[in-house]
Amino acid sequence: MERSAEQVRENYKRITDRIGEAMAKYRKPEEQVQLMAVTKTVDPALVNVAVECGVRLLGENRVQEYESKKAQYDPRAQVQFIGQLQTNKVKYLIPEISMIQSVDSLHLANEVERIAARADKVQDILLEVNIGGEESKGGIPAEELHGLLEEAARKPHLHVCGLMTIPPKTDVEKYFFRMQKLFIDISAENMDNIDMHVLSMGMSGDYVEAIKYGSTLVRIGSALFGARG
């Protein structure tokens, strides 16, 4: 698929139509899902076409790429970080980044806390869960999530807003179901300083299924901007 403004406008229309259909089919009328445009390898001018269409959330994977593009983004969009994050790069994201979705270890949570404290900011974060237990992927194993939540909840400059995941490619529904269950169970615990309102799951190939299992934020790259080269 070629990358053009016209194509992005068409894709945006198709995606928002499908999201609307999925929400009508699977969810309560008062529920909502946010559409994040994932910007990796995409020219900022084309990212801004998506913002012009109505996208208000951008997702960044790489710190360096974000640094080189951020000044050109339409300021109507908020930017969140969704990629694997090395602790030594956290300082480049705070205070601008509105949410870091990919916190997956105590080591990383400690560094986000330290840098956020220095910036006098309470940083919104999600905890990323490796729900399929895949070696190659980021995220904390589901069995270790509770411990990390308890640690994060004690940190004054972290605000845990929910969970994020990238499921294995096969059997996605099984993994989305497990995430939904984790999310609901943790919400029901009403832990102090843990605010479970974001369940970030669903990408170009599986966002309809993710909506079926309670996603509140879908992260879409290639279906919106075209395939990455």
Ligand X SMILES: *Cc1c(COP(=O)(O)O)cnc(C)c1O
From the CB of 225, what's the least distance to ligand X, in Å?
8
The residue from 203, 210, 211, 217 that contacts ligand X (CB under 6 A) is: 203
Q: For residues 206 and 63, give the distance between their C-alpha atoms in angstroms, rounded to a whole number.
A: 26
From the CB of 28, what's the least distance to ligand X, in Å?
25
Contact map string, positions 28 to 47, toward ligand X, x by CB under 6 A: ----------x-x-------
- State which amino acid sits at residue 56: R
The residue from 15, 49, 82, 186 that contacts ligand X (CB under 6 A) is: 82
80 scored as a contact of ligand X (CB under 6 A) = no
Peptide bond into 141 cis (omega under 30): no
Contact map string, positions 150 to 189, toward ligand X, x by CB under 6 A: ----------------x-----------------------
Cα angle, residue 82 at apex, residues 73 and 120 outer, rounded to 5° = 75
Q: Give the Cβ contact number of residue 71 at 10 Å.
A: 7
34 Cα distance to chain centroid: 10
- State which amino acid sits at residue 50: A
Q: Is the dihedral of CA 116, 119, 123, 128 positive or negative?
A: negative
221 scored as a contact of ligand X (CB under 6 A) = yes
> What SS3 class is residue 82?
coil
Which residue sits closest to ligand X, CB atoms considered? 221
Residues forming contacts to ligand X in the complex (CB under 6 A) are 38, 40, 61, 82-83, 166, 203-205, 219-223
